[in-house]
Amino acid sequence: MSSDPHTGTKPASKNSRREALKQKAAELFAQKGIDAVSLNEINKAAGQRNTSALHYHFGSKEGLIEAIVYERYEHINQQINKLLDEFEASPKQAQTLRALLKVSIKPFMDQLDDQQGIYYLLIVTQLFMKSSDMITKGHPTGEDTARLRIFHHYQTIMGELPPLVQNSRLILHASMLVHSLATYAQTTQAGGSYLLGSKTLFFNNLLDGLEGLMKNPASEATLETIRTEKI
C-alpha cells in the first residue's frame, strides 16, 4: 500500500475504516439511542468523507447493528462455552444453579471493564425492549452455541415448571441480566455507584435475584392464570 505523498502516511485499511465506523456507531447508538442516530451522522462523526462508506461495509443500518452486537458477542460466546466446559467437568455436587449462573453472567460482567463493552450492553438493552428475538432465536446464523447450552441446563433445573413459565423465565433472565448491567454502567459513570454498591456486591446481588427467578416454584396465582386463560 503506497503512502500519501503529502503526509507520508499510509491510507487507512478497509478493516480499520470498518472498525472506526462500527465503534463510532456503537458510541452514538448507546448515548443517543438507535432510532435517533442516522447513518449520515455516523459517517460524519467517524470522519468519513465517502457518504456510502457505511452501506459499503454493512449494507444497512440493521446490518451495522448486527455487526456491533454479534461481533462483540462472538467473544462472549467463546468465554461462556469455555466456562461451561469447566462446569460440566466439575463434580455433580458442584454443578449448582449459582455456579451455572456465574458461568452465564461473568462474560457479560466483563463488558463493564471496557467502554465498547458498555456501549454493547446499552445497545442490547435497547434491542431487548423492542423484541425478545435475540433471546429466543439467537444469532441469525445460529452461531451462538453457548446460549443453547445454557438454556438446556436451565430447562433441566426448571423441569417441574410449566413450559410457558420456563420460557418466560429464560427471557426474564436474559433481560434482567443485560438491563441490570447497563444500569450499573450508567450509574457508575454518573458517579452514583454507591447506590448499587461495589462491583462485587452488585455481582452477588444480581446472582441472588436471578437465582430466585430460576429456582422458585410457580405460584398458585400463576398456575391459575395459565389454566383460566388456557395459554
Q: Report the CATH architecture of 70-229.
A: Orthogonal Bundle (1.10)
Q: What is the longest distance spanned by two Cα atoms in the chain?
A: 77
Helix %, strand %, coil % of the chain (to 5):
75, 0, 25
Residue type, 149: R
Domain ranges across the chain: 13-59, 70-229
d(CA 36, CA 91): 50
- Residue 134, pLDDT > 50, answer yes
Q: Does domain 13-59 have CATH number 1.10.3470?
A: no
Residue 17: its H or E element: helix 14-32
**Total-model pTM:** 0.88
- Residue 2, pLDDT > 50, answer no
- Residue 10, pLDDT > 60, answer no
Residue 14 CB coordination number (10 Å): 11
Query: What would the mean pLDDT of 39-55 be, rounded to a whole number?
Result: 85
Query: Quick check: 111 and 120 in contact, CB under 8 A?
Result: yes
Q: Which residues contact 45 (CB under 8 A, 6 or more apart)?
A: 24, 27, 28
Query: What would the mean pLDDT of 179-203 be, rounded to a whole number?
Result: 86
Q: What pLDDT, on the 0 to 100 scale, is given for residue 35? A: 95
Q: What pLDDT, on the 0 to 100 scale, is given for residue 13? A: 65
Query: What would the mean pLDDT of 153-170 be, rounded to a whole number?
Result: 93
Banded model confidence at residue 139, pLDDT cuts 50, 70, 90: confident
